[in-house]
Structures are given as C-alpha cells and as structure tokens.
Amino acid sequence: MKRSLGPLVAPITVGLIASACSSATLLTKSQAAHRYASIAARVNVVAIPFNREVYSGWTKNTPPSQIKSEARQYLAALQVFDRQLSSLAQQYPPASAEIRSEVAATQSLLGDLANIMSHTYRLNSWFEGWNRDDTAVEWHAVKVRSDLGLPPPPSES
C-alpha cells in the first residue's frame, strides 16, 4: 500500500514559506528601538502642541470649528502612528504584546478624535475621556520604550 505524503508536505511547506517571509521583516531590538523612536517622534510633533491646547487652551467657549480644525492634523498623524506601530508589533515579537497594548490604547484616542470631528461630544465629558485615554497611551509608551531599552518619553510641558 502506497502512502501519500501530500497532506504532510503542504503544511510544512506553507510553514517554511511563511517563516521565510516573516523572518525577512523581523527586526533586532536595536532596529525596533530606532523605528519606535522615529515613529513616536513624528507623532509627537503634532501630539505635544495639540495636548497643550486641549489641556490649557480649550474652554466651553471654544468654537467647535476651532476644536475640529486643531484635531484634524492630530487625527491624521495618529492614524499613521497606529499603522506603523501595528507593523512594528509584527516585526519585533519580543515586545509585540506591549506594542499591541499601545495600539489598543491609541485606538481609544482615535475614537475620541472621531467624536470631536463629528461634533458628538460635550467638552467636559470628552475631556475626561481624553485625559484617561491619553494617560493610558503614555503609560503604554513608557512600557514599550522600556522593553526596547529606550528612555521614557519626553515631557509634554
């Protein structure tokens, strides 16, 4: 009786191909740290001034059109950051869980910004949610930076 190796070969071949493809994009810890620092620096160029405005410039009298205008640039930068961070999580498995946690926290900020853009918010309650979500992203950034051997993020003040 002849036995076929077809079913056994296919999974092994697929596994080897997938492994070969993914290993080509894997990063060393140093490379991952450099990439993370680079993408964080790009988003912080927009995030830091936006947060200064949120925490000290916006009042109940701030026109919704001004709030929406100020949020638009940060929303775009945060969407890019989110995609790049998701990619980094795949490219550096040792810190993948913590990077994915930062991605999840970033999703909350994206939701907050979507609310601002659609005018479906009350500023006081929106601010409470933003503060909570921004603090969560900062906490995860500290953890990711630590996993990658980077210093804590720069202060926003």
* Cα–Cα dist 53/56, whole Å: 5
Q: Which pLDDT value is given to residue 157?
A: 53
Q: How far is CA 77 from CA 50, 74, 95, 119, in A?
A: 11, 5, 23, 20
N residues, the chain: 157
For each of the domains in the chain, give its residue range(s) and CATH number, in order of start. Answer: 28-147 (1.20.120)
157 residues of the chain, pLDDT tens digit each: 433 333 333 333 333 334 434 444 899 999 999 999 999 999 999 999 999 999 888 888 888 888 898 899 999 999 999 999 999 999 999 999 999 999 999 999 999 999 888 876 788 888 999 999 999 999 999 999 999 999 998 776 5
Q: Residue 25 has what pLDDT?
A: 86
pTM of the complete model: 0.80
Helices (H), 24-150: 29-56, 64-91, 96-118, 123-147
CA atoms within 13 A on the CB side of 65: 0
